[in-house]
């Protein structure tokens, strides 16, 4: 029987099509992730654009952050709003950086060693703290596009992006609103409640470390979608991660390896969903965000495509229950 | 300069990445639409499931509506809600039908003749009116998935789907809300205002017939996205279309042919966005929907893929301005 499940945070319904369930092994990325190295590689040779780097004992960079060559948002523009009749336009003020995660031509983060992934996490932390000092920016997002179906370009270095914007994105607003509604009524963090319920049932848990848990969400948007949550409550990634960088690297490598091995190296995205920057003008509201929001990472293998029904309704259709995908990923040998 | 544009109906921001603009000719579906005919073809041989058909003088069907063999929603279930701790579930009550648009193995609707497309539109109209009699259903959606990247399965007959659900989809609610806000303030239909503004500027108009206009929206979600709007105000497709079926077939064939020829036969979706069913319990609200909502069709070529930034923020990124895509499509020879 297909069923509709409600996302407990933002209230969006997802159709879990249990009867047309394809078996987990049937999901293989129909568009293979082909990567073509450009010559000369633009990520091996762009030291002049360096914003930040972590260096080894030999003085060579291990992780390097550079400005995007094709930024979606820019710092060099004056923030400006205007209209055309019924229509509204603002220019796209913000920051767009590329995190080059390895000096070698390794394409999938799953193949980096834990210490290298830990350096990437440290780079996010440092850049988030630095970007937060810009008074006109409200939000910073770190995310990865791996493979064609995830929007990734085909170049040899594993890498991710940081984008900071002058407005809070809609999806972040929805999550903050859902978390606040729960806290206002229960006086408890919604995500802390979810972690307790998931750990006690166990059926959607894929992996666990000392400080983190990885689950398949109850109402996923995509087959094999995962959420990595810190067990300890913190709204902000760059503050909450301090001291736990290596442990996050451990669970991230574990999850990405299970996806790579079990699903035959599919395209995927991951997205760090942290709280908006603490701005004085929002004062008291940030006090409530501190207690009711809980940072986390969404990991989205890209094995299915939204069709007309999903575009027309806003429903998502997930062709396999998350309990089955969790079981499948738990049993992958990595 | 990239700019952020606000959708005037639902208020969602779209980044128009003008500086990284790819030329219209550069958009070619990277995943070719390969169609494999199943043997024996399930759509040539399933008369027993027929719900409705339009027949020619020879008694043979021209357009046939059948029940979906793998329905997402079903009428044979009792509407039911339950919870698991923090989580909410309902079963998926509704109707899921397939419209087989031709008895021949023609895959792209663009290749059907105008009278055949007119029959498809008539079939939608008849089925919508019939489905509206079901007291527990709130909304019916007609849509097409053509090609792999649009979620289409690979079978030889051009076809589309009708899905009716017991709840109003989120995206429909958002459009109704935006249209009502505009009417409440201006005492005019937002869509009628948009049509006037677009016809007077002309730069986003792709095609026009006696009763319809096809434009690229000011803040599109996808490159080459189009909207077909009836010039005459009506909230409901099945009532508003009466007498204009052939004219809609004309503009639909024109638009789909421009997409096929100009963009090298890409995958696409189209979605008819009509008003919810008129239910007595909503009484007065439907009186306002009648005056402030305006049915239309979204046509979405699927040439780009949402990446991590879009999934994480709810922003869409459109890599080419709609003024350029309108100009390109206007100049395609069909």
pLDDT tier at B12, thresholds 50, 70, 90 = low
Q: What is the 3-state secondary structure (H, E, C) of A106-171?
A: CCCHHHCCHHHHHHHHHHHHHHHHHHCCCCCCCEEEEEEEECHHHCCCCCCCCEEEEEEECCCCHH
Q: How many whole angstroms separate alpha carbon A131 and alpha carbon A52?
A: 12
Q: How many whole angstroms separate alpha carbon B7 and alpha carbon B9?
A: 6
Q: Read out DSSP for A191-222?
A: HHHHHHHHHHH-TTEEEE-SSEEEE--SS-SS
- Which residue has tokens 């594993």? A158
**B interface test, pick of A78, A140, A311, A317 with most B CB neighbours within 10 Å:** A311
Q: Looking at residues B300-326, what average pLDDT do you find?
A: 81
Residue B266: the pLDDT is 87
pLDDT, tens digit (0-9, with 9 covering 90-100), for B146-174: 987 787 776 688 999 999 988 788 888 88
**B305 and A1: CB-CB below 8 Å?**
no
**pTM to 2 decimal places:** 0.85
Say whether pLDDT at B196 is over 70.
yes
The contacts of residue B104 (CB under 8 Å, 6+ apart) are B157
**A interface test, pick of B86, B93, B177, B321 with most A CB neighbours within 10 Å:** B86
Residue A154: the pLDDT is 63
CA distance B59 to chain A (A): 32
CA distance A89 to chain B (A): 5
Residue B273: the pLDDT is 94
- Residues of A within 8 A of B3 (CB-CB) are 89-92
Distance of CA A122 to the CA centre of its chain: 16
Q: How many whole angstroms separate alpha carbon B289 and alpha carbon A234?
A: 44
- Residues of B within 8 A of A12 (CB-CB) are 170
| DSSP letter assigned to residue B111 | G
Q: What is the pLDDT along chain A (334 residues), one digit of tens a residue?
A: 566 677 776 666 676 665 544 455 455 444 445 555 566 777 877 666 789 999 999 989 999 999 988 787 777 766 667 777 778 777 778 899 999 999 998 999 999 999 999 999 999 999 999 999 988 888 999 999 998 778 777 668 899 999 998 878 888 888 998 899 899 989 999 999 999 999 999 999 999 999 999 999 998 888 899 999 999 999 999 999 999 999 999 999 999 999 999 988 888 999 999 999 876 555 567 678 888 899 999 999 988 777 777 777 777 777 788 898 999 999 999 8
Supply the ipTM of this predicted assembly: 0.76
Identify the domain containing residue B217 by its residue range: 3-331
Residue B284: the pLDDT is 65
pLDDT tier at B226, thresholds 50, 70, 90 = very high
Say which CATH number the domain at A66 has: 3.30.428.10
Residue A293: the pLDDT is 93
Residue B200: the pLDDT is 95
Say whether pLDDT at B324 is over 80.
yes
As for how many domains chain B has, the answer is: 1
**A309 and B163: CB-CB below 8 Å?**
yes
Which chain B residue shows the shortest CA-CA distance from A269?
B308
Q: How many whole angstroms separate alpha carbon B190 and alpha carbon A89?
A: 18
CA distance B144 to chain A (A): 6
């Amino acid at each position: 029987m297909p069923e509709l499940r409600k996302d407990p945070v933002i209230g969006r319904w997802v159709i879990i099509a249990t009867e047309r369930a394809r078996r987990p092994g049937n999901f293989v990325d129909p568009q293979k992730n082909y990567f073509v190295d450009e010559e000369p590689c633009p990520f091996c040779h762009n030291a002049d654009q360096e914003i930040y780097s972590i260096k080894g004992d030999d003085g060579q960079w291990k992780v390097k952050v550079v400005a995007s060559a094709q930024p979606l948002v820019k710092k060099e523009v004056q923030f400006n709003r205007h209209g055309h009749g019924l229509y509204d336009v603002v220019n796209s003020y913000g920051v767009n950086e590329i995190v080059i995660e390895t000096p070698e031509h390794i394409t999938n983060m799953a193949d980096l060693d834990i210490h290298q992934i830990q350096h990437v996490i440290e780079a996010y932390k440092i850049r988030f703290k630095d970007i937060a000092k810009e008074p006109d920016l409200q939000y910073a997002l770190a995310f990865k596009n791996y493979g064609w179906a995830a929007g990734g370009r085909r170049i040899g270095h594993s890498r991710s992006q940081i984008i900071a914007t002058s407005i809070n994105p809609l999806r972040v607003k929805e999550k903050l609103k859902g978390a606040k509604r729960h806290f206002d009524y229960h006086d408890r963090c919604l995500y802390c409640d979810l972690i307790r319920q998931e750990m006690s049932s166990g059926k959607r848990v894929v992996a666990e470390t000392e400080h983190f848990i990885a689950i398949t969400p109850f109402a996923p948007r995509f087959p094999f979608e995962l959420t990595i949550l810190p067990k300890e409550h913190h709204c902000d990634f760059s503050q909450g991660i301090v001291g736990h960088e290596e442990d996050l690297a451990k669970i991230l490598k574990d999850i990405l390896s299970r996806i790579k091995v079990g699903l035959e190296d599919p395209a995927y995205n991951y997205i760090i969903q942290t709280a908006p920057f603490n701005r004085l003008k929002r004062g008291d509201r940030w006090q409530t965000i501190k207690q009711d929001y809980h940072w986390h990472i969404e990991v989205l293998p890209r094995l299915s495509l939204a069709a007309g029904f999903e575009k027309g309704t806003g429903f998502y259709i997930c062709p396999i229950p998350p309990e089955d995908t969790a079981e499948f990923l738990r049993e992958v040998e990595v």
